[in-house]
Amino acid sequence: MTELVLESRPDINADLTADQIRLEDLQTEEMLVNMGPQHPATHGVLRVVLRTDGEMVLEAVPHIGYLHRCAEKIGENVAPYQYIPYTDRMDYLAGMNDNLAFALAAEKLAGMELSRRAQLIRVVFAELNRIASHLVSMGTYGLDMGAFTPFLYAFREREMILDLFEAACGARLTYSYITVGGVTQDLPERWIDVCSEFLDYFEPKIDEYNNLLSFNHIFVKRTANVGVITPEDALAFGLTGPVLRGSGIRWDLRKAQNDLGYDEFEFDVPIGEGLKGTLGDCWDRYYVRILEMKQSVRILRQALARLPDAPGDAYDKRGKTMKLPADEIYYELENPRGQLGFYIQGNGSTIPARVKARGPSFCNLSVLTHIGTNCLLADIAAIVGSIDVVMGEVDR
């Protein structure tokens, strides 16, 4: 075994105590550490450059653009109904919600009104996809913190939702089911009954997730009082969705605007309350998503009860022939990560003159540098995971 020999330092004053020698001899050096773009805790091809001093992170700067695919420019070269598949690839964990946001923007610009049945089907699939998205967020966040089992539980339930999606449209990830003019086809036989059975099975599982992960002592220690976003900072950075509501601000577009008839449904808007630590910490943002799944179940039960008697067709053929007037519109919808907005400018033809997307993940990611400073290196994974970004929506 090699013996460690400490060399004498004649340049140090011999009168100093041992503690003083250590303090005066200690020198630290800053180091730049790349987290990503290939790193499981970045939830995609995100590169975060960390300026560290030992275990302390002095600055965290996100670098984006690794998944840029010119999505907005493509929207200016195809008809709105042809652009729907591209919206699936933005937030690829919530394709139904992205389909819906763009379809509604195009329909409102063209002045198209849909049937009651089409609206209810859209609500059902939007809320199912919200649950599926939050399940991925919950499972992978537990994985980031070192808990493997919740990931398996979350994906077990998510597979059941994907089975429902596959039965309706044949796809399990990129759906293009919600389109301009309604939905591509009506629900198959017994689909409503199977969906209701799933809700009966799923709702008690949320309490199981809480016992398994949410209130787990180690998980709470890793996430409480970490990455705190104050209500003032949340508003200043333009944050939306669970990241905003996790800071205690009760704002949800499903309540603020009456599109799709959300005003007819009884549901609550969960917010962070500082239950395990400081208001607006990582745990609050995580727990808001858990509570939102319960509220989505409430909405789904009400929507499914009204679907059998809902009048009208599920699809309006005018969606494929619509011409966009020489006007413009900006429309936002509450998707699982926040407010997803589309700006469309028409010129009287079937092809938009300008398409612009406002991705909630892009705006929410902007707060990382602010809250990712003067924290431990291990906390960065907790902070990034609590923001819940999807890089396809950031880069577009």
288-309 pLDDT per residue, tens: 999 999 999 999 999 999 998 8
Q: How would you write the chain as a 3-class SS string?
A: CCCCCCCCCCCCCCCCCHHHHHHHHCCCCCEEEEECCCCHHHCCCCEEEEEEECCEEEEEEEECCCCCCCHHHHHCCCCHHHHHHHHHCCCCCCHHHHHHHHHHHHHHHHCCCCCHHHHHHHHHHHHHHHHHHHHHHHHHHHHHCCCCHHHHHHHHHHHHHHHHHHHHHCCCCCCCCEECCEECCCCCCCHHHHHHHHHHHHHHHHHHHHHHHHCCHHHHHHHCCCCCCCHHHHHHCCCCCHHHHCCCCCCCHHHHCCHHHHHHCCCCCCCCCCCCCCCCCHHHHHHHHHHHHHHHHHHHHHHHHHCCCCCCCCECHHHHCCCCCCCEEEEEEEECCEEEEEEEECCCCCCCCEEEEECHHHHHHCCHHHHCCCEEHHHHHHHHHHHCCCHHHHHC
What value, to the nearest 5°, has the Cα angle with vertex 103 and ends 97 and 109?
A: 140
Contacts of 286 (CB under 8 A, 6+ apart): 137, 138, 141, 214, 223, 246, 386
pLDDT category at 369 given cuts 50, 70, 90 is very high
Q: Is position 32 within any domain?
A: no
What pLDDT is stored for residue 20 in this prediction? 54
Number of domains in the chain: 1
Q: Is position 42 within any domain?
A: no
Q: Is position 342 within any domain?
A: yes
What pLDDT is stored for residue 8 in this prediction? 44
Report the CATH number at residue 289. Answer: 1.10.645.10
Q: Is position 134 within any domain?
A: yes
Q: Is position 93 within any domain?
A: yes
What pLDDT is stored for residue 1 in this prediction? 43
Pick the range with the lowest mean pLDDT from 158-162, 262-266, 314-318, 379-383. Answer: 314-318
Residue 211 has a CB neighbour count (10 Å cut-off) of 9
Q: Is position 200 within any domain?
A: yes
What value, to the nearest 5°, has the Cα angle with vertex 334 and ends 100 and 196?
A: 70
Q: Is position 152 within any domain?
A: yes
pLDDT category at 337 given cuts 50, 70, 90 is very high
- Expressed as residue numbers, the domain containing 207 is 65-358+375-395
What pLDDT is stored for residue 7 in this prediction? 44
What pLDDT is stored for residue 319 in this prediction? 82
What pLDDT is stored for residue 155 in this prediction? 93
What pLDDT is stored for residue 26 in this prediction? 61
What pLDDT is stored for residue 27 in this prediction? 67
pLDDT for residue 43 is more than 90: no
pLDDT category at 200 given cuts 50, 70, 90 is very high
pLDDT category at 218 given cuts 50, 70, 90 is very high
pLDDT category at 19 given cuts 50, 70, 90 is low
Question: What average pLDDT does this structure show over 216-243?
Answer: 93
The average confidence (pLDDT) of the chain is 88
pLDDT category at 365 given cuts 50, 70, 90 is very high
* Global confidence as pTM: 0.89
Please give the Cα distance from 309 to 301 (Å, whole number).
Answer: 14
Name the percent of the chain lying above pLDDT 90.
64
**Residue-wise pLDDT tens digits, 46-99:** 899 999 988 889 999 999 988 898 989 999 999 999 999 999 989 889 999 999
**Residue-wise pLDDT tens digits, 134-145:** 999 999 999 989
What pLDDT is stored for residue 119 in this prediction? 92
What pLDDT is stored for residue 193 in this prediction? 94
Name the percent of the chain lying above pLDDT 70.
93
Q: Is position 60 within any domain?
A: no
